Structures are given as structure tokens and as C-alpha cells.
Amino acid sequence: MPTVPPAGPVGPVDSARVPRFAGLATFARLPRIEDVPAADVAVVGIPFDSGVSYRPGARFAPAAVREASRLLRPYNPALDVSPFASVQVADAGDIPVNPFNIGEAVATVEEQVGELMNTGASVVTVGGDHTLSLPLLRAAARRHGPVALLHFDAHLDTWDTYFGEPYTHGTPFRRAVEEGILDTEALSHVGTRGPLYGKADLDEDQRLGFGIVTSSDVMRRGVDEVVDQLRARIGDRPLYVSIDIDVLDPAHAPGTGTPEAGGLTSRELLEILRGLKGTRLIGGDIVEVAPAYDHADITATAASHVAYDLVSLLALRKGAAA
């Protein structure tokens, strides 16, 4: 007999029938992209960390975040949405990239994520290191034009080079500004902190067009005021969100390559993300989870919840547009 197509989105495996610790480790136990007719939102892994400047290991993040995501449930009460029932969300697997050639890896990511976006899917990426944001932004800008960027990170990532190399995890957003793929009226760092190489780092960052909300600003001013400021800067522009997990304090994310004391709590990060409800979010990434330095899956768990909220925001937007 012919297979009858499902009446609505194919959701996660039913945890009342299959224990959460059993079965395939797809994100949130969702179907693989090849098992659904089309995906509205695709979660893709990129196991690449050849652009790091300190501790490696983020190449193992997609697998760790998928494992941690087994505990995610279908209804998001904070955003009042059942993302997996509202739109079709699927796990698009991993993009295999050359670990020995950063230029080739960047080109591969741009091409393959671009192809995924061309199907109509919004993409949430689990890296990998922050080098990946450049090709992801290139692919997004080809589809949407220059995009607003909301960048959560302990660091600026707008340096020119490391050891003479222009493509590293500390340079993606300088390259993106230089290439004209960002809307320089709507660029924000959130959660920055820690020592710099010099005051010139801040001067150059400002010249590129970035506004800064430090982790201390979040603590002193509170989430609601910060959200209002960010939304005013973003406006109605297409928005890309890039989240380096080291924006969180090491107490909340020990498993990362360049930890800095004094960061956001996981609650603060999630609440700021939820404050983006109603913006023109087009996609995002979560990078720099390094499982080898993690304890009791603290960092992977935080990253899985961040990805879940990004998926939920995209489901709200896509569902409203349908």
C-alpha cells in the first residue's frame, strides 16, 4: 500500500513510548531532514574548530548538543509555542568540512548552507568555532541582503588577523563588515567582558559600526531595558543571531575554548533571546561549545536550550507568515 503523507509536521519521537535515552540522537529527537518532504526550520551541525586560537574541541559540539537536547519537550511555555507542531523542524545532520584547510571549509559551509536556505528553510547551526559565522552570514545575505547582527560573546571577534591569518574565530565580523553583508546601522555585541589587547580594539570595533552591551550592563540595567535597546537598534531589518557560548559565565558554560569570568547567566541569555519575539529573525548559530572541558553536560545543555529558543522564535515567525 502507498504511504499516506502526514497531515501536519512530523514531530519528535514520543518519549512516552521510547525512553529519552534510546534511539537516534537527532536534535530534540526530531526527524532527519531526508525523512520529511520539506523543512521550515533546519538544525545543522558543523564539526569544525580549525580556526580557534586557544583550546580546541568544538568540532565535537554538534554530537554533544544533540545528546543534551534529548530532554527538550515539545511545548515552550516561555514563548507560548509548540515549535515542532507549528512548522516542520528537522535535523539536517552535519556538514563535513576540511579540517586542514580553513578557506576550503569556509567555502563548503557557504555553499551547503546556501543550498539549504534555498529550499526555504531557516537554519539554526550548531558549530564548531566562530569562524563559521562568516560563511553563514554570506549565505544569509545572498538570500536577504545585508542583515542586522546580534552577537552574543565575551569577545568582539572583530580583530583583523591572528598570526597573519584573516579567517579565524576572532575575525569573522570584521570580514563580514568589509564584505558588505552586514547592515552597519544594526550591529550589536552583547555580553562582552574581560581584558583586551588595547583600547584601540574598542575604537576599531566602533568604527566598524558595532554597539556594545557588556555583561556588566546586563547586570546593572536588567534584561528588559537591554532588550528594548537592542530591538530599537534592530528595527524591522532581517536579523541574524550569533551566539558564542562563552558569553555565559564559566559557571554556566565551562566547556568552551576561551572562557572569561563575569559572564551572563543562562537565564539572562535565554530571556534576552525571548525578548526578540516579533523581530524578523532569519537564522542563527551557537558556537564554541567544547565538550572535552564540560562538566556534567552543563555547557551542552545550555546550548541545546539556546538552540530550542531560536527554533521556537523561528517557528513563531514562520507560523505567523503561513
pLDDT digits (tens, 9 = 90+) for 45-85: 999 999 999 999 999 999 999 999 999 999 999 999 999 99
Question: Which DSSP string do the residues of 124-152 spell out, in sequence order?
Answer: EEEES-GGGHHHHHHHHHHHHSSEEEEEE
pLDDT category, 16, cuts 50, 70, 90?
A: confident
Q: What tens digit of pLDDT does each residue of 113-148 get?
A: 999 999 999 999 999 999 999 999 999 999 999 999
**Total Cβ atoms within 10 A of residue 21:** 10
Is the bond preceding residue 128 a cis peptide, omega within 30 degrees?
Answer: yes
Question: Could you identify the residue written with the cell 565538550?
Answer: 291
CA separation, residue 146 to residues 183, 184, 189, 232, 318 (Å): 5, 9, 17, 18, 20
Question: Could you identify the residue written with the cell 563548503?
Answer: 108
Q: Can you give the pLDDT at residue 320?
A: 76
CA separation, residue 142 to residues 65, 114, 128, 146 (Å): 28, 8, 22, 8
Question: Which DSSP string do the residues of 265-277 spell out, in sequence order?
Answer: -HHHHHHHHHTTT
Of the chain, the percentage scoring pLDDT greater than 90 comes to: 93
Q: What tens digit of pLDDT does each residue of 163-181 get?
A: 999 999 999 999 999 999 9
Mean pLDDT, residues 141-156: 98
Q: Judge contact between 320 and 277, C-beta under 8 A.
A: no
Mean pLDDT, residues 265-293: 98
pTM, two decimal places: 0.96
Interatomic CA distance for residues 52 and 290, integer angstroms: 11
- For residue 322, pLDDT over 90 is answered with no
Q: Judge contact between 43 and 286, C-beta under 8 A.
A: no
Bridge partner list, 276:
none
Interatomic CA distance for residues 304 and 162, integer angstroms: 30
- For residue 4, pLDDT over 60 is answered with no
Q: What are phi and psi of 249, to 5 degrees?
A: -60, 150
Q: Can you give the pLDDT at residue 6?
A: 57
Mean pLDDT, residues 31-39: 97
